Amino acid sequence: MVKAYIAIFSVAILFLIHYLLFRRRGRSNGMQVPPSPPAIPFFGHLHLIEKPLHGALSRLAERHGPVFSLRFGSRNAVVVSSPECARECFTQNDVCFANRPKFPSQQAVTFNGTSLGSANYGPHWRNLRRITTEQLLSAHRVSSMSGVISGEARRMVRRMYRAAAAAPGDVARVQLKRRLFELSLNVLMEAIAKTKTTRAEADVDTDMSVEAQEYKHVVDELNPLQGAANLWDYLPALRWFDVFGVKKKMLAAVNRRNAFIRRLIDAERQRMDNDVDGGDGEKKSMISVLLTLQKTEPEVYTDTMIMALCASLLAASTETTAITIEWAMSLLLNHPKILKKAQAEIDITIGNSRLISTDDMPHLSYLHCIINETLRLYPAAPLLPSHESSTDCKVNGYHVPSGTMLLVNVAAIHRDPTVWEGPTEFKPERFEDGKSKGLFMIPFGMGRRKCPGEVLALLTIGLVLGTLIQCFDWDRVDCAEVDMTQGSGLTNPKAVPLNALCKPREAMRDILQKLL
């Protein structure tokens, strides 16, 4: 009985200390801080974390408003869920929020916080950003990659056509995500290292090469272990323990990722040493440019720096592009009339004598509406990567102290009922004829830390989605509604990967036959 009283008294003391500490902190200097739900001593609001996190934060925003504060263990955070407040964060407070929080669990993943996505705002980050935009993602570079994207789309379509030809009734059941992941990976590998995944003769018609499977396995292991998944990022005492083996799993996945990238660097270095197809200027791969710079500034362009940059670009582009196309196809399968309308636009604009090309993209306005609506409903990053305030600032009139983590809920902003009519409905027509011009969307972020790969991503999504619509008639498996449940992780995967039925369109058979 005495032990029970001691336990109750101890808990009461903890609650009192917590209340006094954070009450004083909230009222410091008479400044008003954002509203906050009730917290638990030491744990703060970790008990409110549910998967997917953006959904849990959206529900909290309904009760506490477009700006509210949370405490994840030892870390303070502010959550923004409205267009006006997001604009304020990335305009007036853009420099203030240009840093990234440092998570102990992410040190190995981010090369000790030196990668493009994790580095704090400063000379090192600006140099990485400059290299990325000049050597990989400039408008001219992206335009020159259109042939690579089209080639990968054709190769994917050819394998799907073969699968359909070998199936009863010329109808193949395909899981698109694996095929789309390999396509996205090949596009990035071509840009970064002038190479792509290879297929043995035995797996020439499979949905994914062994090499692509290797990298996808790394992504599938790392993504769920990042973000809010690691309690020991927020509770320092837990860093001495690894009950669920998270550290071990992450290090194993990081080592496999680094080995994958190291092979790309070593192969490019070997080509340069042998002067084989090295190219010059814009024909060089990004890695060969960095290796050239390494010769004059070895202390800056180290192998670790090159690996970190490659890892950031592969992580930011491969999974997100594949996910977006998969969501788009899922939406179209659940709305067959919209799919037919998109198919009709392509037939009228391009015809059936050739495949879609980059030059066609400006003329396919309805296809762009579908892509915009997909990015609105299912942004690949429903929560922007975390920012951190470097100085005290104000958001929506509330005081935000230095060192506060900023979470911007893109999913909530894109479905704001005060901005979007029928916010949960799939209506590409809302983007026709500039109807939605001026309405706020940030699927690629905003401000200094905005994703630099937007142009490449949109080109890839447009070409690949357009090719799939042009070449095949699509249907749902067993006529069942496609499951639109969202998964969890850094990106926004489907909880249930899309399986669909594809049949070569009669009008496109001659073109598809020529691909064999």
**What tens digit of pLDDT does each residue of 119-140 get?**
999 999 999 999 999 988 998 8
Domain presence at residue 438: yes
* 444-458 mean pLDDT: 96
pLDDT at 3 over 50: no
Average pLDDT, integer, range 491-507: 95
Phi and psi based region of residue 489 (left: phi greater than 0; alpha: psi -120 to 50; beta: remaining): left
Q: Is 301 part of a structural domain of the chain?
A: yes
pLDDT in the model for residue 159: 94
Q: Count of domains in the chain?
A: 1
How many angstroms separate the CA atoms of 210 and 216, rounded?
Answer: 10
Residue 249 pLDDT: 85
- Residue range of the domain that includes 465: 97-398+434-515
Residue 422 lies in a domain: no
pLDDT at 445 over 90: yes
Residue 243 has a pLDDT of: 59
User: Is residue 414 included in any domain, yes or no?
Assistant: no
Question: Within a 10 A sphere around the Cβ of 168, how many other Cβ atoms?
Answer: 6
Q: Is 451 annotated as a binding residue?
A: yes
Residue 317: is its pLDDT beyond 60? yes
Task: Spell out the SS3 assignment of 387-406.
Answer: EECCCCEEECCEEECCCCEE
In a domain, 26, yes or no: no
Mean pLDDT of 390-417: 97
Domain of 299, CATH number, reads 1.10.630.10
Span 250-296, pLDDT tens digits: 899 999 999 999 999 999 999 988 875 555 556 789 999 999 999 99
As a whole number, the mean pLDDT across the chain is 89
> Has residue 206 got a pLDDT over 80?
no
Average pLDDT rounded to a whole number, residues 324-328:
98
> Do the domain assignments include residue 238?
yes
State the pLDDT at residue 49: 86
Q: Residue for token digits 């009734």?
A: 169
Cα separation, 116 vs 307, whole angstroms: 11
The answer to whether 324 touches 317, Cβ cutoff 8 Å, is: no
Cα gap 11→5, rounded to integer Å? 10
Among residues 74, 72, 75, the alpha carbon closest in space to that of 56 is found at: 72
Q: Give a yes or no: residue 140 inside a domain.
A: yes
The predicted-structure confidence for 187-204, as pLDDT tens digits, reads as follows 999 999 999 888 755 465
pLDDT digits (tens, 9 = 90+) for 141-157: 999 999 999 999 999 99
User: Average pLDDT in the 43-72 region?
Assistant: 94
Confidence bin at 228 (pLDDT 50/70/90): low
Average confidence (pLDDT) over 437-461: 95
d(CA 89, CA 310): 29
Tell whether 86 is covered by a domain: no
